[in-house]
A and B are shown apart, each in its own frame.
Chain A
């Protein structure tokens, strides 16, 4: 059976967007194309994580799990791991 694609949602609430989330939208430029092919990436409405407290913007959800303080580098690493699983 074909492996399902990794579902990635980038929080585009104002707080995330202005604190670096916007950079993640350049994923076509900085992500390894092979990893990119196994992922489904979309921007999404505020994940409400900023209101919960704890953790640093920007937030990203990968296969239902939330990650915080996601820079471009962290994003690459997280997806690499997620694709391998």
Chain B
């Protein structure tokens, strides 16, 4: 995955905040078609072939922010303003989650290893000796890889003393843990929605920004503008995404128009208790390992790729679902919007349409704050209420946090064996597949599809290191106060 903060994320955030700003000032319909030109002015030095292509891509990004499925609804004759009008009038569900900007895709050549000019045709020739398929030949004193024999194992790259072998991946294909991405006949990217688990790794990996999520932001903003009672259900990972404390984030959300703020950590408390009870039952009945069930991409992974785990994951609902239940119980009239780091939470939320009214990401929330000139750091912190029972559940956002919350609610946690799946890639999926034959040596397996936990999710704003740093600083400050 590409690190956050590059030209692509900067432009995307600008587009998002400009759209939101215009939405709130009621000028989006009239000015939407000017946006590509305003964001890519004619004196810009383009990073694609020309400014006109860059503008076209801005247009597509606006469309995906509106939730349009570019694969099926890409009418080039239709002005952006028309699309906006349609979106403002009705709410279409924005699933499947991902769509592709076909003309943005570079059509990367297939994954390959190549030997560069740095090859000195050395005498030892470790590449040749280590190639399991005899794919290396020497022509004019330099090594070459025979394409038809190469199985792309990378051995030659590992052993070359001159680092002359380069691996040229297809970033989206490489990042996808479940092979849901392939190229069509034109060599352009396609997402197989039957296989996709919504982890968003491809979105974060494509250097051209050609795979994008369809947003639900406008749907949520409409509720805010209508002055509906909208409760912001904030995922535990939100701490550290903005400069300031949770109390300040709460105040900022209210300033943005949310009627109240509900910490999903409170839902996580329920999840932890349920999972704990179930774990004890399983251990007593000697039924073998149980896995967590809070990660929504993992819950997509099971039916689509590891069906045998259906018997293994906890029956507890996710923190988001419990949080929504609690919100609706407190006020059946309220609307609930989950704000998190995750794309696949939208897939999960679709199963709870009666209690969850919308899902947006932290990055989208940042666009709202930018558009409304809200500075989290300047807010007067609001009280978070009585959080004593679920304080530790804020750690659900970090790998290891879920398991420790479950354990700390058990009578005898010392005997429980924990295993952590910290991030999923192709190799991990293969490993998990072997559990059919050989069960993992653990009672509780914590599964996080994003490495490092939710703080590394595709919808985050800052790098995980920064988030961790800010979370620790907040903790130190609150400990000092106490």
CB-contacts of A25-40 with B (<8 A):
25-26, 29
Kindly specify which of A9-17, A60-68, A76-84 makes contact with the partner chain: A9-17
Which of chain B's residues have a CB closer than 8 A to the CB of A14? 242, 366, 369-370, 373-376
A14-B242, A14-B366 known; A22-B374 Cβ under 8 A? no
A14-B366, A14-B370, A26-B466 known; A19-B377 Cβ under 8 A? no
Which of chain A's residues have a CB closer than 8 A to the CB of B470? 25
Interface flags, B445-462, vs A, CB<8A=1, else 0: 000000000000000011
A18 at the interface (CB under 8 A from B): yes
- Taking the nearest CB of chain B, how far is it from the CB of A16, in angstroms? 9
A25-B469, A25-B470 known; A18-B461 Cβ under 8 A? yes
Cβ B377 vs Cβ A22 within 8 A: no
In the complex formed, the residue of A with least CB distance to B3 is: A23
Question: Chain A: interface residue count, which band?
Answer: 10 to 19
Cβ A22 vs Cβ B461 within 8 A: yes
What CA separation (Å) do A71 and B465 show in the bound complex?
16
Cβ B5 vs Cβ A45 within 8 A: no
What CA separation (Å) do A40 and B180 show in the bound complex?
49
B243 at the interface (CB under 8 A from A): yes
Cβ A20 vs Cβ B5 within 8 A: yes
Which of chain B's residues have a CB closer than 8 A to the CB of A71? 5
The contact sample of 16 A-B pairs, CB cut-off 8 A, is A14-B366, A14-B369, A14-B373, A14-B374, A14-B375, A17-B377, A18-B13, A19-B9, A22-B462, A23-B466, A26-B466, A43-B243, A43-B377, A45-B378, A46-B375, A56-B10
CB-contacts of B154-172 with A (<8 A):
none
Which of chain B's residues have a CB closer than 8 A to the CB of A19? 5, 9-10, 13
Cβ B466 vs Cβ A22 within 8 A: yes
* 6 closest Cβ pairs, A-B complex: A22-B462, A20-B5, A12-B243, A18-B366, A14-B369, A22-B466
In the complex formed, the residue of A with least CB distance to B367 is: A18
B463 at the interface (CB under 8 A from A): yes
Cβ B463 vs Cβ A12 within 8 A: no
Which of chain B's residues have a CB closer than 8 A to the CB of A46? 375, 378
Given contacts A13-B377, A14-B370, A19-B10, 10 further A-B pairs with CB under 8 A are A13-B375, A14-B369, A14-B375, A18-B13, A18-B363, A18-B461, A19-B13, A22-B466, A23-B5, A26-B465
In the complex formed, the residue of A with least CB distance to B10 is: A19
What CA separation (Å) do A6 and B177 show in the bound complex?
47
Tell which of A22, A45, A56 touches B375, judged by Cβ atoms closer than 8 Å.
Answer: A45
Tell which of A18, A20, A45 touches B377, judged by Cβ atoms closer than 8 Å.
Answer: A45
What CA separation (Å) do A26 and B13 show in the bound complex?
22
What CA separation (Å) do A59 and B370 show in the bound complex?
15
In the complex formed, the residue of A with least CB distance to B9 is: A19
Interface flags, B397-433, vs A, CB<8A=1, else 0: 0000000000000000000000000000000000000
Among A12, A22, A43, the one with the most B-chain Cβ atoms within 10 Å of its Cβ is A22
Cβ B463 vs Cβ A22 within 8 A: yes
In the complex formed, the residue of B with least CB distance to A24 is: B466
What CA separation (Å) do A29 and B461 show in the bound complex?
19
Which of chain B's residues have a CB closer than 8 A to the CB of A22? 5, 243, 461-463, 466
A12-B243, A15-B370 known; A29-B378 Cβ under 8 A? no
In the complex formed, the residue of B with least CB distance to A18 is: B366
- Taking the nearest CB of chain A, how far is it from the CB of B356, in angstroms? 25
What CA separation (Å) do A13 and B17 show in the bound complex?
14
Cβ B469 vs Cβ A26 within 8 A: yes
- Taking the nearest CB of chain A, how far is it from the CB of B369, in angstroms? 5
CB-contacts of B367-398 with A (<8 A):
369-370, 373-378
Cβ A20 vs Cβ B243 within 8 A: no
CB-contacts of B1-55 with A (<8 A):
5, 9-10, 13, 17
What CA separation (Å) do A28 and B463 show in the bound complex?
15
